[in-house]
């Protein structure tokens, strides 16, 4: 083989390699573009999910604040009721305590003379014109 045919053969090989390289570069660029698109879509999806999560968190926070305000309001309504209940319980206990002492006083057993005197007073009260016999 002479030099000219070797050069032609080598040039054909170089051209073949250049075409392969161009084809590989083109495929690589397409894959990169596809990967970049997928990553961009994923980023957009992630941002949308993050925004949605923030919106839900904000809505839940507002609902929580409203519920807390409602609880506070109910607590404020309940406080006077509890105070009133406590006061009524105290009055009831005091009245019950006082009744026991009065009841004990009323049913206290005295001497026989006290009973006799009580009977005379009762008879005197029943018939105002009649005097008890001595």
Helix (H, G, I), strand (E, B) or coil at 130: coil
Is residue 66 domain-resident? yes
Is residue 91 domain-resident? no
DSSP H helices in the chain: 3-106, 112-126
Q: How many domains would you assign to the chain?
A: 1
Residue-range definition of the domain harbouring residue 16: 3-71
| pLDDT tens per residue across span 8-50 | 999 999 999 999 999 999 999 999 999 999 999 999 999 999 9
- pLDDT tier for residue 71 given thresholds of 50, 70 and 90: very high
Is residue 100 domain-resident? no
Residue 82 has pLDDT above 80, yes or no: yes
Is residue 98 domain-resident? no
Is residue 131 domain-resident? no
Is residue 93 domain-resident? no
Q: What is the mean pLDDT of residues 62-86?
A: 96
Q: How far apart are CA 65 and CA 56, in angstroms?
A: 14
Torsion angle of the four alpha carbons 66, 71, 73, 78, in this order, in degrees rounded to the nearest 10: 170
Could you tell me the two tokens for 99? 């009744």
Confidence (pLDDT) at 42:
98
The structure's pTM equals 0.46
Is residue 41 domain-resident? yes
């Amino acid at each position: 083989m002479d030099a000219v045919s070797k050069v032609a053969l080598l040039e054909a090989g170089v051209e073949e390699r250049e075409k392969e390289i161009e084809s590989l570069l083109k495929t690589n660029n397409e894959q990169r573009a596809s990967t970049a698109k997928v990553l961009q879509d994923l980023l957009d999806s992630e941002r949308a999910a993050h925004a949605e999560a923030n919106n839900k968190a904000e809505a839940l926070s507002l609902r929580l604040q409203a519920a807390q305000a409602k609880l506070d309001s109910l607590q404020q309504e309940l406080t006077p009721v509890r105070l009133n209940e406590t006061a009524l319980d105290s009055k009831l206990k005091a009245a019950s305590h006082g009744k026991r002492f009065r009841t004990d006083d009323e049913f206290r057993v005295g001497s026989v003379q006290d009973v006799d005197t009580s009977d005379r007073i009762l008879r005197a009260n029943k018939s105002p014109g009649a005097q008890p016999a001595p």
